[in-house]
Amino acid sequence: MQKEFVVIGLGRFGGSIVKELMEQGADVMAIDKVQERVDEFASIATQAVIADTTDEAVLKSLGIRNFEHVIVAIGDDIQSSILTTLILKELGVQQITVKAQNDYHEKVLRKIGADQVVHPERDMGIRIAHNILSNNVLDYLELSDEHSIMEIKVNEKIAGFSIVDLDIRARYGINIVAVKRGKEIIVSPQAQDKMQLNDVLIIIGADVDINRFEKKVLS
């Protein structure tokens, strides 16, 4: 059975989610209150609807409670975002993900029951900053406020050493979960596996530990 999603707000963030979900074979109802945006997504989404999602009767008429996951990607209108989330919660939607404008907005969203709150601009800013600051960091994903998963390129300093030689887990408290070597991906590498120049290590751990490892071993 195909997964069914609703995306409310078809700006850059919401629009990109609709496109990606459709590419992955999901069913998506795309909603916005601006006619031009709805028209743009009429040929992309499974269904594109013009609607005011701060009106409970409108959401009920769309059968919103039948969808397993609703993404609220409303742009600058924090009031509409909060009200829409509140109504979705009251209607009994199982999973609600909401885009937050700032920390205050996030606090309110969590209080009223949003299951997941995302800060796309801030998160992307963090990723870009990490990539700019370190030549070795290829990608970065925040798992929580304190933990991340990161792709780090093996440089001359650690090439030729095995995982056990570097004793990364004991010394830094981080785990290498996989190694990318060209097109090959080595999942759960062995302790004696030697790292090769330009391998990509996928590591997981607390931000402070990852930063310590980066500074001491890679820079």
User: Which residue did the predictor score with more confidence, 28 or 209?
Assistant: 28
DSSP string, 172-205: H--EEEEEEETTEEEES--TTPBP-TT-EEEEEE
Q: Give the residue-averaged pLDDT of 26-33.
A: 95
Confidence of residue 147 (pLDDT cuts 50, 70, 90): confident
Which pLDDT score, from 0 to 100, does residue 167 have?
Answer: 86
Distance, CA of 73 to CA of 42 (rounded, Å): 18
In this structure, of 10-24, 42-56, 129-143, 175-189, the range with the lowest mean pLDDT score is 129-143
Confidence of residue 209 (pLDDT cuts 50, 70, 90): confident
Q: Is the dihedral of CA 157, 162, 165, 171 positive or negative?
A: positive
Distance, CA of 33 to CA of 17 (rounded, Å): 17
- Domains parsed from the chain with CATH numbers: 4-118 (3.40.50.720), 123-218 (3.30.70.1450)
Distance, CA of 4 to CA of 71 (rounded, Å): 11
State how far the alpha carbon of 70 is from the alpha carbons of 75, 84, 99, 139, in Å. 15, 10, 11, 27
Per the DSSP assignment, residues forming a β-bridge with 196 are none
Torsion of the alpha carbons at 106, 109, 113 and 117, rounded to the nearest 10:
-50
Contact call for residues 202 and 138 (beta carbons, < 8 A): no
Which pLDDT score, from 0 to 100, does residue 207 have?
Answer: 83
Terminal-residue alpha carbon distance, the chain: 49
Q: Long-range contacts: 19-26, Cβ < 8 Å, 24+?
A: 19/44, 22/46, 26/2
- Mean pLDDT is highest, among 6-10, 14-18, 116-120, 174-178, for 6-10
Which pLDDT score, from 0 to 100, does residue 76 have?
Answer: 80
Which pLDDT score, from 0 to 100, does residue 151 have?
Answer: 85
Whether pTM exceeds 0.85: no
Confidence of residue 14 (pLDDT cuts 50, 70, 90): very high
DSSP string, 94-118: SEEEEE-SSHHHHHHHHHTT-SEEE
Look at the block and give the residue holding tokens 């097109």. Answer: 183
Over residues 76-127, the pLDDT tens digits come to 899 999 999 999 999 999 999 999 988 899 999 999 999 999 887 777 666 6
